[in-house]
């Protein structure tokens, strides 16, 4: 089942807020519902947001076309105006604006061309995840000098964060398929538990050996040698290799460095933002007090308190052993960055 897709004239997506208790598909026909679903994390994860952005522009164009009483020209200015609101739905993952902008490049050719481009983005995402999985699995065995590896990961970077398979979790799936996965250690990922709710669900469905960790156990257990590598996804990779990802990634990178464990970022090329020079320039979404003060309708903190709730942090490039995309492996520790490593063909 695809996490997000275009089905019979509408966007269909799995409502991730209901997992792991219920698998429910939502059918989206209005832009306001798509924006609300992005903001409440019914659809989430950088690559899935890229596809949501592109399909969202296709939806806008189709709706504007349908409302056009004269039935003639598509009101392109109106499409652009609505697309600008979609682009701003969440600020950190560059894939959202990338997907919107890429779909808009076809606007002059009409609504059908916009939809065709959005479908192309969906299909490219599927192929990219396969290629990242293969590159990442080879690299991990090489770095760990082992045929079977134990890996730690945070948040959800699986099929739910993409269209199918995933980025960092896609590498774990590939390792499993190649009989190279000894065990996976997902962190639960406070405050919204993407690791406990979504990654554990996906690992269980794929039949992977794994044990769940609380977030604060990750750095300590790395120091005790529990894992051969740490894999994370990314929401935005700056031109110098600094990488924004789910809050908690930076602490894992520091601990991995301390323990001498490879720290690997897995993300598609669309997550690399060459217009952002370094991590200091990345806007970090703060999601407010309610997510910190309780979960699932249960209040855990006193009423009336404040909270700082950054949804993401930034890992500096010098803590990153490798950045794996569908088209290349970048080794920041050897002075490499997205600026100076050339692209290779996709692997399949």
| Burial class for 149, CB neighbours closer than 10 Å (0-12, 13-18, 19+) | buried
Cβ 69 to ligand MRU, closest distance in Å?
39
Say whether residue 246 binds ligand MRU (CB under 6 A).
Answer: yes
Say whether residue 325 binds ligand MRU (CB under 6 A).
Answer: no
Say whether residue 161 binds ligand MRU (CB under 6 A).
Answer: yes
- Nearest residue to ligand MRU on Cβ basis: 233
Which residues lie below 8 Å from residue 204, measured CB to CB, with a gap of 6+? 210
Residue 79 or 250: the one with the smaller Cβ distance to ligand MRU is 250
Q: Which of residues 18-47 bind ligand MRU (CB under 6 A)?
A: 41, 44-47
Say whether residue 311 binds ligand MRU (CB under 6 A).
Answer: yes
Which one among 3, 97, 140, 157 touches ligand MRU, defined by CB under 6 A?
A: 157
Cβ 336 to ligand MRU, closest distance in Å?
21
**Piece of 158-166, 176-184, 314-322, 332-340 that binds ligand MRU (CB under 6 A):** 158-166
125 has catalytic annotation: no
CA distances from 106 to 95, 118, 177, 282 (A): 18, 10, 38, 28
Neighbours of 348 (CB within 10 A): 8
Sign, CA dihedral 292-295-299-303, equals positive
Residue 225 CA to residue 249 CA, distance in Å, equals: 18
CA distances from 152 to 80, 120, 292 (A): 41, 32, 24
Say whether residue 233 binds ligand MRU (CB under 6 A).
Answer: yes
Of residues 275, 267, 269, 279, the one with CA closest to residue 241: 279
Cβ 46 to ligand MRU, closest distance in Å?
4
Give alpha helix (H) positions in 186-281: 200-206, 217-223, 249-259
Which residues lie below 8 Å from residue 159, measured CB to CB, with a gap of 6+? 3, 165, 166, 169, 170, 202
Say whether residue 167 binds ligand MRU (CB under 6 A).
Answer: yes
Which residues lie below 8 Å from residue 65, measured CB to CB, with a gap of 6+? 74, 111
Which residues lie below 8 Å from residue 80, measured CB to CB, with a gap of 6+? 104, 107
Residue 78 or 269: the one with the smaller Cβ distance to ligand MRU is 269
Q: Which of residues 57-76 bind ligand MRU (CB under 6 A)?
A: none
Say whether residue 155 binds ligand MRU (CB under 6 A).
Answer: yes
Cβ 112 to ligand MRU, closest distance in Å?
29
CA dihedral (210, 265, 46, 165) in degrees, to 10, reads -50
Paired with 213 in beta bridges are 187
Catalytic residue (choose from 235, 242, 273, 313): 235
Asked if residues 223 and 133 have their Cβ atoms less than 8 Å apart, the reply is no
Say whether residue 245 binds ligand MRU (CB under 6 A).
Answer: yes
The site for ligand MRU, by CB under 6 A, has a size of 19
Say whether residue 235 binds ligand MRU (CB under 6 A).
Answer: yes
**Piece of 56-64, 96-104, 155-163, 334-342 that binds ligand MRU (CB under 6 A):** 155-163
For the window 87-126, what string marks contact with ligand MRU as x by the rule CB under 6 A? ------x---------------------------------
Cβ 135 to ligand MRU, closest distance in Å?
15
Residue 40 CA to residue 42 CA, distance in Å, equals: 6
Which residues form the catalytic set?
A: 235
What residues make contact with ligand MRU under the rule CB under 6 A? 41, 44-47, 93, 155, 157, 161-162, 166-167, 194, 233-235, 245-246, 311
């Amino acid at each position: 089942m695809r996490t997000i897709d275009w089905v019979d004239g509408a966007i269909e997506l799995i409502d991730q807020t209901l997992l792991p208790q219920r698998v429910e598909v939502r059918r989206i026909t209005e832009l306001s519902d798509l924006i609300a679903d992005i903001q409440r994390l019914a659809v989430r994860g950088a690559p899935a947001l890229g596809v949501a952005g592109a399909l969202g522009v296709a939806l806008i164009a189709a709706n504007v076309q349908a409302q056009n009483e004269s039935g003639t020209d598509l009101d392109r200015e109106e499409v652009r105006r609505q697309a600008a609101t979609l682009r701003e739905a969440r600020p950190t993952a560059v894939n959202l604006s990338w997907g919107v902008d890429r779909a808009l490049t076809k606007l002059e050719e009409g609504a059908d061309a916009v939809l065709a481009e959005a479908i192309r983005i969906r299909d490219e995402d599927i192929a990219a995840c396969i290629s990242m999985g293969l590159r990442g699995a080879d690299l991990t065995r090489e770095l760990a000098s082992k045929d079977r590896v134990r890996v730690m990961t945070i948040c959800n970077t699986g099929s739910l964060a993409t269209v199918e398979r995933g980025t960092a979790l896609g590498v774990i799936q590939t390792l499993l398929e190649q009989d190279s996965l000894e065990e996976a250690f997902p962190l639960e990922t406070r405050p919204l538990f993407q690791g406990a709710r979504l990654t554990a669900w996906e690992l269980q469905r794929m039949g992977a050996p794994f044990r769940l960790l609380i977030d604060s156990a990750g750095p300590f257990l790395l120091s005790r040698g529990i894992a051969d590598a740490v894999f994370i996804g990314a929401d935005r990779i700056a031109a110098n290799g600094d990488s924004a990802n789910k809050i908690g990634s930076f602490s894992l990178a520091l601990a991995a460095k301390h323990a001498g464990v490879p720290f690997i970022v897995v993300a598609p090329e669309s997550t690399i933002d060459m217009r952002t020079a370094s991590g200091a320039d990345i806007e970090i979404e703060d999601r407010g007090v309610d997510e910190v003060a309780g979960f699932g309708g249960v209040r855990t903190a006193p009423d009336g308190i404040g909270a700082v709730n950054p949804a993401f942090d930034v890992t500096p490039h010098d803590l990153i052993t490798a950045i794996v995309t569908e088209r290349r492996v970048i080794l920041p520790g050897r002075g490499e960055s997205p600026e100076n490593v050339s692209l290779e063909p996709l692997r399949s």
